[in-house]
């Protein structure tokens, strides 16, 4: 069975500093992995996805994630945080039949 674990429930950074949101996955086959973002009172927006092509995936708004099979990780990074990045971030793995399996979420706070 597929699952994802987000290692931090809350991350706080200062504006202009790097962002690292950690995610480990478990999958019995080559996974499809995603990061989604949810701004307050908004829906879920796809940031990026990994589907067994390049291991370094670039997404929207300057985010990227690296698939590391040896570490079963798919961490999300951004070189420089912006105030507008404050939101909840979900690491997601595609399960059987296409359903998405979500991690518990990481709330990102950005301090001025």
Partner 1 sequence: DSGVTQTPKHLITATGQRVTLRCSPRSGDLSVYWYQQSLDQGLQFLIQYYNGEERAKGNILERFSAQQFPDLHSELNLSSLELGDSALYFCASSGRQPGTGRFLQETQYFGPGTRLLVL
The residues that touch partner 1, with contacts defined as CB under 8 A, are 32, 34, 36, 42-46, 49, 51, 90, 94-102, 104-105
**Residue (13 or 27) nearer to partner 1, CB:** 27
**What are the phi and psi torsion angles at 84 (to 5°)?**
-70, -5
**For partner 1, which is the closer residue by CB, 44 or 86?**
44
Between the alpha carbon of residue 73 and those of residues 3, 39, 107, the distances in Å are 12, 24, 19
Q: Are 14 and 109 in contact (CB under 8 A)?
A: no
Q: CB 56 → partner 1: shortest distance, Å?
A: 19
The residue among 22 and 94 lying less far from partner 1, judged by its C-beta, is 94
Q: How far is the CB of 18 from partner 1 (least distance, A)?
A: 26
74: nearest Cα among 49, 45, 97: 49
């Amino acid at each position: 069975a597929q699952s994802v674990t987000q290692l931090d429930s809350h991350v706080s950074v200062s504006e202009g500093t790097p962002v690292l949101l950690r995610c480990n996955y478990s999958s019995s086959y080559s996974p499809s992995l995603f990061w989604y973002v949810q701004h307050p009172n908004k829906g879920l927006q796809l940031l990026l996805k990994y589907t067994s092509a390049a291991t370094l995936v670039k997404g929207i708004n300057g985010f990227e994630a690296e698939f590391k099979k040896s570490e079963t990780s798919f961490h999300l990074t951004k070189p420089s945080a912006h105030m507008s990045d404050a939101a909840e971030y979900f690491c997601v793995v595609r399960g059987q039949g296409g359903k998405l399996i979500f991690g518990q979420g990481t709330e990102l706070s950005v301090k001025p």
